[in-house]
Chain A
Amino acid sequence: MEFLYYFGDVFTPINFALLMLGTIGGLILGATPGLSPTMAVALLIPFTFQLEAAQGLILLGAAYTSTVAGGAVSAILLKIPGAPANIATTLDGHTMAQKGEGAKALQLSFLSSAVGGVFGVMLLIFLTPVLAKWALAFGPSHLFWLAILGVTVIGTLDSRSVVKGLLSGCIGLWLSTIGFDDIMGAQRFIFHPSLGGGINIIAALIGLFAIPQVITMFAKGRRNDGAEVITVQKHSILDAMKELMRNKRAMGIGTITGSIIGLIPGVGGQIAGLVAYDQAKKFSPDRDKFGTGHPEGVIAAEAANNAMVGPSLVPLLTLSIPGSPTAAVLLGGLLIHGIFPGTDLFDNHPDVAWTFINSMLIGQILMCVFGLYVAGMAARVAQVPQSVMAAVVLGLAVFGSYSVQSSMGDVYVMAALGVMMYFLERFGFSAAPLVLGLILGPIAEANFIQGAMIARATDGLGPYFLVGPLNIFLIAVVILSVLYSAYMELRTRRYTSKEEIMA
């Protein structure tokens, strides 16, 4: 119950103001199509430099939570999911809005998001300290395999091609080695003066997530993409609460599914929303009504994508393995303040850890309250033309990456990585494993070198890294995640080929 001790810290004027700012800003950013939660959080990182660690994390955590919920606004009112996590919400939410039940759909979406989100954060509160203590038993070889596990799990589960996902992870790991070697001081892969100090993680994150999005908007050309917003009629919030109580089953399915999926590293909110929607449909007596504007569809999907947020931070805060790409960006936000996840976080910075986690709990409630009021405004922001959005994101990316160390080198690295990522994405590579490789690379290398030194003094490299129950377990999980993803990829291809033949 240590978290209760730090509960008051959330309500200091500056912390609470940041929480509200992150929540309202996140709701608006989340509703904007093309601005994913990951990109929104990455662009916000430069604004946290001058803040204390806990304050910076409060802002980023609030933005993470509310961008996922805010995505429902454009999903319901514009039929454009603000984030991939809101795809399932579109299925029934937009149909409800077309039937004149837009306000009800929005209210149900924010209420179910809050319930799912609070449950998810409670899981985070109770699971994290236990797992962090467990992480104490980890030696260098285990931490090395954990870092590799983080890259392979996201590389295989988050990509449409296992090989390209793993290759993206390798590129990220290689990029993390650029610069001066920590132990020998040797220069590695410094082919441009801007790379002398290595690749700055924040500049890289901004480039990898923001620039491809900007170029994607350019690629659409001069298209009038301003979607029509459906007018929202008034609806009583009490009636929405009663409706939610009547749909406890969908609420429960969404919350539990989202929480479980959030705990699995690499499986994002998009999958949580779709799986919960599918399960709610299977267990509902009104399954025929799904897709025709049925409240259960909205409730299950939104409860799931917000329930996923808290648990996705459990592997991050305990083992340094982010559960989602946005969690990977949050890891970058932790590292720039010199804070390392795991026992260090809970033993040496409990105020930071618990204030951050508690703020996420309060943030869920604020998100629900503000969401209901901000929805109308957020929908109007979602109509901002892509031309304006592209130019704004580009400007923010340039200023944001420069502000990291007041270095043009960081801006060049940001732009080069961003342009490279756009073209790599067009060929089936994805940014998430590359980012994970970049972030986890130094952790993997430090533990590999440390392990190699211990191994030389003991049994040798092979036995040290490959023998022992925990090593074998971690290696088995790495191999299983690769095999499972390869199997799923083959199955999807076979299914697609059959559909093509049938067509």
Chain B
Amino acid sequence: MTPNLPRLQNVIGSGIVAAVGLWVAYVSYTQQPSEAFLFPRLIATVFVVLALWTFGKACLGWTKVGNGISISQMANLTPGLIVTLIYIFWAAKGLGFYTATPIAFFILLSLYDPASHREVKSWLKRLFITACFVAVMYGLFAKLLKVYTPREIFF
């Protein structure tokens, strides 16, 4: 096992995959009509064997592949991931695509842009990039492709 590989993370990760495999197998072998689950049963059998093998290896610390996630990586990605999930699962539908997208875009840019947060110039630059991006998206999707996105509060 590589020294930087967090064993617990691998156990949790492969444990979740094994649990999904067992659920797939349970559903495939118990649901009716059984004819409809012929192919899923075939897959589920292989799925469970491989998933349990991987889980067993992770528990024994024999996992060789996969570096897991370091604490610093987790700290870096968490704010972005939260913004992304709020944007996709609530804001895009709740506020409308053309309201939620610039907000999410600007927040992500502000969170991860290496430029200073104290300079007015860098904030103006972020605003400008956000405006350009939304204009391009509107031109591409609303005008060119005629995609009617949820509009909700403003647009």
Contacts and interface: CB of A to CB of B under 8 A. Distances in A.
Interface of A: 46-47, 49-50, 160-161, 163-164, 166-167, 170-171, 173-174, 177, 181, 183-184, 186, 188-189, 214-215, 217-225, 385-388, 390-392, 394-396, 398-399, 402-403, 406, 408, 411-412, 415, 419, 423-424, 426-429, 444-445, 448-449, 452, 493
A222 B126 CA distance: 14
A184 B87 CA distance: 38
B144 to A, nearest CB: 8
A427 B112 contact: no
Most buried by A among B17, B74, B150: B17
Contacts of A170: 21, 43, 46-47, 50-51
A221 B71 CA distance: 12
A386 B89 contact: no
B2 to A, nearest CB: 9
A463 to B, nearest CB: 17
Contacts of B88: 398, 411-412, 415
A205 B37 CA distance: 25
Interface residues of B, number: 72
Contact of A395 (B53, B54, B72, B101): B101
Contacts of B129: 388
Interface string B65-104: 1111100111111011100110111001100010001001
Given A387-B109, A395-B101, A399-B137, A423 B40 contact: no
Contacts of B75: 221
A170 B148 CA distance: 36
A219 B39 CA distance: 38
B3 to A, nearest CB: 10
Contacts of A415: 84-85, 88-89
A238 to B, nearest CB: 39
A426 B53 contact: no
B66 to A, nearest CB: 3
B114 A385 contact: yes
A403 B145 contact: yes
Interface in B9-59: 9-10, 13-14, 17, 20-21, 24, 27, 31-33, 35-40, 42-44, 46-47, 50-51, 53-54, 57
A52 to B, nearest CB: 15
B80 A215 contact: yes
Contact of A388 (B69, B89, B104, B109): B109
Given A184-B35, A427-B13, A427-B66, A167 B50 contact: yes
A498 to B, nearest CB: 15
Nearest to B78: A218
Given A167-B51, A188-B36, A398-B101, 6 more contacts: A218-B79, A219-B73, A385-B114, A386-B112, A399-B97, A448-B39
Contacts of B109: 387-388, 391
* Chain B interface, >50% SS class: helix
A399 B113 contact: no
B127 interface: no
B155 interface: no
Contacts of A220: 76
Nearest to B101: A395
B43 A427 contact: no
Contacts of A164: 54, 65-66
Contacts of B46: 166, 170
Most buried by B among A160, A166, A221, A412: A221
B125 to A, nearest CB: 10
B34 to A, nearest CB: 10
What 7 A-B pairs are tightest by C-beta distance, nearest first?
A428-B66, A218-B80, A428-B65, A387-B112, A221-B76, A186-B36, A224-B114
B24 A174 contact: yes
A219 B38 contact: no
A489 to B, nearest CB: 8
B73 A174 contact: no
A222 B108 contact: no
Interface string B123-144: 0000001000100010011000
B147 interface: yes
A406 B84 contact: no
A417 B17 CA distance: 14
Contacts of A214: 80, 84
B81 to A, nearest CB: 6
Contact of A163 (B50, B67, B141, B145): B50
B44 to A, nearest CB: 7
